[in-house]
Amino acid sequence: MTVCGKLKIGFVGLVVVLLLAACGGTSPEKKTSQKSESSGSCGTVGESSLVTIATGGISGVYYPVGTAIANMVNRNRDRYGFQVVVESTGGSVFNINAVAAGDIQFGIAQADRQYQAVRGIAEWQGRGARKNLRAVFSLHPETLTLIAGDDTGIRDIRDLKGHRVNIGNHGSGQRQNSLDALNAVGLKPSDLDIVEVKAIEALELLKEGAIDAFFYTVGHPSPAIRKATEGPRKVRIVPIGDVGHMFVLYPFYVPSRIDMANYPGAANEEEWVDSFGGKATLVSSSDVPDAVVYAVTREVFENFEDFKAQQSAFSELTKKGMLQGQSAPIHPGAMRYYEETGLLRSE
């Protein structure tokens, strides 16, 4: 059976894309596709199967990363009989839930969220572990980034007390990271005036002075953070330090620091700002055919240098590193590629 034969998933999505285009849809929650006509190998023109990668906000790093993956695969869409489109979403938790529900085939998600979803903790507590979630590969490192107006006097995470702070939308990866960071320094959400909007909205609110600070778990350099640091309101990236015990309590977090050379417009004088984070990962589900996951894995790894060059957050990316940091079982389609190429062997 061909990949297309197994993949009865795309046509409705294609109609949605075309309808949105026809209506001139301008929603930021948009799908992009390389081309919408058929590849030919699936048969009828206009019935090309679509495979969707759920990403994050369009100002984040997930969105261009998803686009880079789609570009790799779509160069050979004739061969595979499907094409990849990218969807902007609310972030990691949304993506995991959509993948596990079978609404989409791939999602980018923080490694900590992958860990929690397969164990049924954090957002999944009482809602059930996402047992069908499968890991494909890891991507760039992400850091919980706290950005505050310089005029607020916030110089440390503990200074957030009493301030109006965006911890992130429901569905985002950063929401739980923000709560964990606050908890680690003895702050309760009720000690702050909490806002729960997407990073792209938080950026505007910070600029207007409607919030004092916001948290964003993102790869660096981040175009959104750069934009925040270049606006008329002077902002600074605030250290999230002294949270060492978190690395014992939560094995999915690692210490991390932000290179301020990426943000010359920020008020910071120091070269590096301490925080913590983890890796972004690509996830899929056990219901997605092996051939589809194999094709995506193969295209990214076979064109690794090209892939790496498409995104500045990939500066440290290595093939071996892309196999690390997973909690869900590796999807058999990805595993086939790793076994064929010997990537799993330790040298």
> In this complex, which beta carbon is closest to ligand GLU, that of residue 61 or of residue 202?
61
> In this complex, which beta carbon is closest to ligand GLU, that of residue 48 or of residue 110?
110
Span from 77-85, 207-215, 217-225, 251-259 in contact with ligand GLU (CB under 6 A): 217-225
Span from 57-65, 258-266, 270-278, 295-303 in contact with ligand GLU (CB under 6 A): 57-65
> In this complex, which beta carbon is closest to ligand GLU, that of residue 31 or of residue 77?
31
> In this complex, which beta carbon is closest to ligand GLU, that of residue 140 or of residue 236?
140
Residue 278 makes contact with ligand GLU by CB under 6 A? no
Beta-bridge partner residues of 346: none
Q: How far is the CB of 239 from ligand GLU (least distance, A)?
A: 19
Q: How far is the CB of 228 from ligand GLU (least distance, A)?
A: 14
Among positions 173, 277, 278, 325, the unique one binding ligand GLU when judged by CB under 6 A? 173
Q: Parallel, antiparallel, or unpaired: how do β-strands 164-166 and 213-218 relate?
A: parallel
Contact 262, 228 (CB under 8 A): no
Residue count of the chain: 347
> In this complex, which beta carbon is closest to ligand GLU, that of residue 60 or of residue 239?
60
Among positions 38, 39, 52, 110, the unique one binding ligand GLU when judged by CB under 6 A? 110
Within 10 angstroms of residue 324's Cβ, the number of other Cβ atoms is 12
> In this complex, which beta carbon is closest to ligand GLU, that of residue 142 or of residue 180?
142
Residue 57 makes contact with ligand GLU by CB under 6 A? yes
Tell me which DSSP letter residue 135 carries.
E
Q: Which two tokens stand for residue 164?
A: 């109006």
Residues 60-79 that bind ligand GLU (CB under 6 A): 60-62
Among positions 49, 67, 116, 217, the unique one binding ligand GLU when judged by CB under 6 A? 217
97, 111, 203, 338 from 332: Cα distances, Å: 20, 19, 40, 10
> Would residue 171 be called left, alpha or beta, if left means φ above 0 and alpha means ψ between -120 and 50 degrees?
left
22, 25, 117, 297 from 9: Cα distances, Å: 22, 22, 24, 19
Contacts of residue 67, defined as CB under 8 A and 6 or more positions apart, other chains included, come to: 32, 55, 86
Q: How far is the CB of 116 from ligand GLU (least distance, A)?
A: 12
Residue 174 makes contact with ligand GLU by CB under 6 A? yes
> In this complex, which beta carbon is closest to ligand GLU, that of residue 49 or of residue 169?
169
Q: What is the DSSP string of 67-121?
A: HHHHHHHHTTHHHHTEEEEEE--S-HHHHHHHHHTTS-SEEEEEHHHHHHHHHT-
Among positions 144, 206, 218, 238, the unique one binding ligand GLU when judged by CB under 6 A? 218
DSSP strands (E only) in the chain: 31-33, 49-54, 82-87, 106-110, 133-149, 164-166, 193-195, 213-218, 235-238, 254-259, 272-285
Looking at residue 177, its amino acid is N
Residues 123-162 that bind ligand GLU (CB under 6 A): 142
Which positions lie near ligand GLU, rule CB under 6 A? 56-57, 60-62, 91-92, 110, 142, 172-174, 217-219
